[in-house]
Structure 1
């Protein structure tokens, strides 16, 4: 239950990769999303920090599926499990629009890419004034865990060199901050004009350029294109992304 609104949750989850995600219908006929996060994945403090950041950007005009308070006025409610672990329940508005599924979508093109860039620029502009939190990871903490699990020693050495190069970059308010970190088409809907972003579970402190790099990465990841075709597409897409991004922020 959210405030004076009662929601009925669908039995089949929309997703269960890192969190259990359920669609819900309110007695006001609006759609919502219920998320259950297990304590083995995130601590309550980490979830609260994520949702505080999400609420902040939502209240300052970002196009996001914002979090909602419970009847106890909490963004997170703790549910005990039989094995003494916990689930942390959160309720969100449902993002308007639909998922854009690659180049086969009628939306795929420059208007969509520009809107994508604009949405990212908007978040980066807002995060620059968001207070520092100790309960979200840095890119280094996230990537170190991945690198340490690599089995190929040569690949691990290359990754370590790259991380050292990144760590040597300046950390400045205009280029580094708390950000979404995973703005691919599975984490937003598009209505033909603008994006509504959701799933801030991976929000971490990183260089802003990472969010733009992820757009290029996911746009060409599953294509059958040659390396040359991928490079050509990425260059053109980046130009359009920058146009949208710079509408919200200073030039890259």
Structure 2
């Protein structure tokens, strides 16, 4: 078993070996960052750019390949999303042997655009809501077979996040506060269990469409970084994007979405359940990172207030 730092070191060695399996006239290679992947921008002499990902997470080859199959479907509908490039063997996923380790690499066409640097307006938020609606609409025609494997965001994933939080909460949360989180998670799981999965409400979703995963080209928002994509309710996808938004921004997002695609009748209660689910997930994700501890402490009062309102059946998404 390799440590995370050892895996990152192996990923550096995998770059050249991976690129040899593609016919590219490489001009420059830029290191971008590392998280679930180690990423590089590849610029060519033919003025094309690509994103190289050396995968350092525990996803299987089938899961990585499935993401690119779905992206191919999205781009076929005219959406400007990342698109996977097949290697010289006609495969989306490239395997390279580095020492005793097998590394997976993928190459995607670079999505042109810039992150918004200036103040984000409500119109910008509404346009992203419309973009998400287009992604969902396109996905309704996607047919996934047994070979298509991606994570599922729902009851089981939420329970796993609560289990993780239970190992780390004591640094920023009291025992009583964690017990409330458990109570709320049980309520959310029961609600998710009661929802019908239809082609209009459930499918493959981005699951992480926040501002860092959006670029703009001539005022048009484009989604990037689909690494968390998986099966889930479309309302959960919306809820993930509403985190960090003001009540006015949430309303603008919903208005933009509804202009492109209708929302289910009486959707607000379910959306608030998924919003709380997303908040718990986010808290759990950062709970074992010492660098996030002060941030989690600063957010705790807000977190408890919103959860209390949810438990009391008081609407909160579009209010103060």
Q: TM-score range by the shorter chain?
A: 0.7 to 0.9
Q: CA deviation at 1:197?
A: 1.5
- Name the structure, 1 or 2, with higher relative contact order (CA <8 Å, separation 6+): 1
Call closer, same or farther: CA 1:233–1:75 in 2, change over 3 Å. closer
| Contact 1:150–1:156 (CA under 8 A) maintained in structure 2 | no
Counterparts of 2:187 and 2:213, CA distance in 1: 31
Are residues 1:28 and 2:46 paired? yes
Name the structure where helix makes up a greater proportion of residues.
2
Gaps of 5+ in 1: 221-229
TM-score by length of 1: 0.82
Instruction: State the superposition RMSD in angstroms.
Output: 2.2
Residues 33, 93 of structure 1: 8 Å contact kept: yes
* Unaligned stretches of 5+ residues in structure 2: 1-18, 167-177, 265-320
Structure 2 distance, partners of 1:70, 1:183, is 28
Q: How many pairs does the alignment contain?
A: 231
Deviations 1:88-119 (A, max 9, x none): 11111111111125xxx15x224322321222
Q: TM-score, normalised by structure 2?
A: 0.66
Q: Give the Cα separation in 1 of the matches to 2:226 and 2:152.
A: 14
1:9-36: CA deviations, max 9, x gaps? 525x312111111111112122211111
Which aligned segments of 4 or more residues in structure 1 are displaced greater than 3 angstroms? 1-4
1:73 aligns with 2:90: yes
Of 117, 126, 143, the match for 1:114: 126
Matches within 5 A, 1:89-128: 89-101=105-117, 105-106=118-119, 108-128=120-140
Q: Give distance in 1, aligned partners of 2:132 and 2:250.
A: 17
Distance apart, 1:181 and its partner CA: 0.8
| Whole-angstrom distance in 1 between the partners of 2:164 and 2:79 | 36
Whether contact under 8 Å (1:95, 1:188) holds in the other structure is no
Which residue pairs with 1:138 in the alignment? 152
Q: Which has the larger radius of gyration?
A: 2
